[in-house]
A and B are shown apart, each in its own frame.
Chain A
């Protein structure tokens, strides 16, 4: 215990005298937290600019354009003379999609001839693509149904099967709710990994108590940052916390500790500060992709699905989604158990410490 206290006090002195250590523990995590709070306080995706090619220029085509403009996700910013001009506007980055109304639009409707409206939707951003497609499809379907009703077609004939849609857990499809509960903890893991490797790599004195004394200031600081992050997440950004706040807090503190254990592993394996920082940093950054939040692991190659389990962040992400967003007990206890296994890693390399 005495050795722990001595090494802890020495580390505090080192932090106070080393600018980069100080920045790593306090300034950079604070900047990154503020960045994410500001970033996710922005609007949800709406009013995306689109271009319309109105080849018909009739009362009905104008009515359809007004309806498209009134949707929450799409905003008609340009009326182009031709599809070439519309595609050129998309290539210039001024619009995400083009809606093309045919020459015979009104005449076809009046003469009871089927007509069509085409949407050319840029797929380079699948988020904007999804929002635009959903809104425009529903506008065209409503417009079409309105015409058929006026023609006296019974509603059940227009839409034989209707459906009730229930979007669970994130009904407004908020990107803040979706991404911030995982992006923000990931930043904490990066700083934890770097600070722990910085504290112990290439230094004399490898007794367990000395080692623990050295990493404990990082543990305390990152635990405090983790708690502040949770307050920002649930109080400032308004991310729902439907499950147990204690499980969320416990797993977040565990995440910090687990990343310290992994930092010890990297440092013991490399015995080089520079290398352990590079490897540890790279490992922390990759964790987000392999967690499967944005692109599910079930769609990855089996080997990568397996590799995703070598990252405690994968289990943490599941806990956050289950506890915060879904409010279900899910498998949080098992996930916490898996995460805890990473704490044993330093034992494997104790002889190299």
Chain B
């Protein structure tokens, strides 16, 4: 067994390409993606104001719009045509039009009307412009009314300032572990095929040694990403360590076993890269972390559950961001253990096919240096 573990380690650490994918890539991806979203909140989105009222009331409205953290009344346009020009040239992402009658309506105790034009081609821009505008109008209405019958209080749970990084990064970090494992173990599978290393081996021993080696490496990488990296970038840490382990342990195990199964199909290293690299975005979309499950065709969401990330991402987010307990995510943990059982079996069968055992070795000794009958790609 120790020999088998040593053999796996030798393949990994003697091949710079494998080290790059298995060890450097998760750290690099985690850092680059987190850096992109590090500022978390989009602030001071430029908007144009067309003020035809030119009154103290309209100036107050513009002042309040500019004071909103989401908006910046960077441009003052003479008319709507000029504002449109700014809008279409991408200089502003919203237009506020204050009509001539704004001030007089307020003085005559009539409702004053303002128009807002938001650019919905970039959702985050739209959201900030609209949210900023609505909160300013609401505050003006509150100041001018004798008191609302019902006050609306809105609290954002688990991500109080609605940071984009806090929203998407936990999902990406969990996904990176899966994708780099799939690719890395796949590349090692390609090396096994190319060098004929499957011959004469013991399937069970190889399976256990692979699980131990990749499990150990990824326990370290996952610990770095989910503990140190999480703290560096300030992602929420609300779950207990035990609950996190209860999700991550079956997740890594199921990914390693799935990757081992797939890796037996590869004839060469590059086959693994080609077959797994493109799957990152579809896999993220199927997890329901980006678009909610309600927006995904139901059959796709269900079929997506064959991927460990589809259960681990929502479970880990609920544990770590929302402070859920192990009992709260028992269903996802259950699915992950079922996947461990399924992929454990498939990995064993696949390896057994590639490693017919010692008796077969003597019979196949006259074959080519390595036997690729069972490889697909």
* Chain A interfacial positions (CB closer than 8 Å to B): 19-20, 23-24, 28, 32, 35-36, 38-39, 41-48, 87-88, 90-93, 96, 109, 114-130, 133, 136-137, 140-141, 143-144, 147-148, 151, 153-171, 173, 175, 178, 183, 186-187, 190-191, 194, 198, 272-275, 277-278, 281-282, 285-286, 288-290, 292-296, 298-301, 304, 318, 321, 325-326, 328-331
Q: Decide if A115 touches B151 in the complex (CB within 8 Å).
A: yes
The distance in angstroms between the C-alpha atoms of A299 and B72, with both chains bound, is: 14
Residues of A contacting B153 in the complex (Cβ-Cβ under 8 angstroms)? 116-119
- Chain B: interface residue count, which band? 35 or more
Q: Within the complex, which residue of A151, A161, A299, A325 is in contact with B140, where a contact is CB–CB below 8 Å?
A: A161
Q: Decide if A285 touches B122 in the complex (CB within 8 Å).
A: no
Q: Decide if B115 touches A275 in the complex (CB within 8 Å).
A: no
Pick from B222-230, B293-301, B334-342, B345-353 the stretch touching chain A.
B293-301
Q: Within the complex, which residue of B122, B130, B168, B318 is in contact with A321, where a contact is CB–CB below 8 Å?
A: B122
Q: Tell me how far the C-beta of A267 lies from the nearest C-beta in chain B, rounded to whole angstroms.
A: 12
**Do A166 and B274 contact each other (CB < 8 Å), given the known contacts A92-B324, A299-B41?**
no
Residues of B contacting A48 in the complex (Cβ-Cβ under 8 angstroms)? 292, 294
**Do A45 and B294 contact each other (CB < 8 Å), given the known contacts A19-B376, A164-B113?**
yes
Q: Tell me how far the C-beta of A236 lies from the nearest C-beta in chain B, rounded to whole angstroms.
A: 14
User: Which 8 residue pairs are nearest across A and B when measured between Cβ atoms?
Assistant: A123-B159, A144-B150, A160-B144, A170-B120, A123-B156, A281-B277, A91-B324, A147-B149
Taking A41-B297, A114-B151 as given, write out 20 further A-B residue pairs in contact, using a Cβ cutoff of 8 Å, ordered by the A residue number.
Answer: A23-B274, A42-B296, A88-B328, A93-B318, A93-B324, A117-B153, A125-B292, A129-B162, A148-B149, A155-B111, A158-B141, A161-B141, A161-B144, A168-B117, A168-B118, A169-B119, A190-B278, A285-B280, A289-B36, A298-B42
Pick from B5-13, B201-209, B264-272 the stretch touching chain A.
B264-272
Q: Within the complex, which residue of A23, A39, A117, A121 is in contact with B157, where a contact is CB–CB below 8 Å?
A: A121
Residues of B contacting A295 in the complex (Cβ-Cβ under 8 angstroms)? 36-37, 42, 124, 164
Can you report 10 residue pairs joining A to B where beta carbons are below 8 Å apart?
Answer: A91-B318, A109-B150, A121-B157, A140-B150, A161-B114, A167-B118, A167-B120, A169-B120, A170-B121, A290-B36
The distance in angstroms between the C-alpha atoms of A9 and B289, with both chains bound, is: 46
Residues of B contacting A128 in the complex (Cβ-Cβ under 8 angstroms)? 292
Q: Decide if A160 touches B145 in the complex (CB within 8 Å).
A: yes
Residues of A contacting B111 in the complex (Cβ-Cβ under 8 angstroms)? 155-156, 159-162
The distance in angstroms between the C-alpha atoms of A168 and B41, with both chains bound, is: 23
Residues of A contacting B113 in the complex (Cβ-Cβ under 8 angstroms)? 161-164
**Do A28 and B275 contact each other (CB < 8 Å), given the known contacts A161-B112, A163-B133, A321-B121?**
yes
Within 8 A of A (CB), among B80-100: 88-90
Residues of B contacting A325 in the complex (Cβ-Cβ under 8 angstroms)? 121
Chain A residue with Cβ nearest B115? A164
* Chain B interfacial positions (CB closer than 8 Å to A): 17, 20-21, 25, 28-29, 32-33, 35-39, 41-43, 61, 88-90, 105-106, 109-127, 130, 133-134, 137, 140-141, 144-160, 162, 164, 166-168, 170, 187, 267-271, 273-275, 277-278, 280-282, 285, 289-292, 294-297, 300, 314, 317-318, 321-325, 328-329, 376-377
**Do A114 and B149 contact each other (CB < 8 Å), given the known contacts A178-B123, A281-B277?**
yes
Chain A residue with Cβ nearest B29? A282
Q: Within the complex, which residue of B39, B118, B267 is in contact with A301, where a contact is CB–CB below 8 Å?
A: B39
Q: Tell me how far the C-beta of B201 lies from the nearest C-beta in chain A, rounded to whole angstroms.
A: 24
Q: Decide if B145 touches A163 in the complex (CB within 8 Å).
A: no
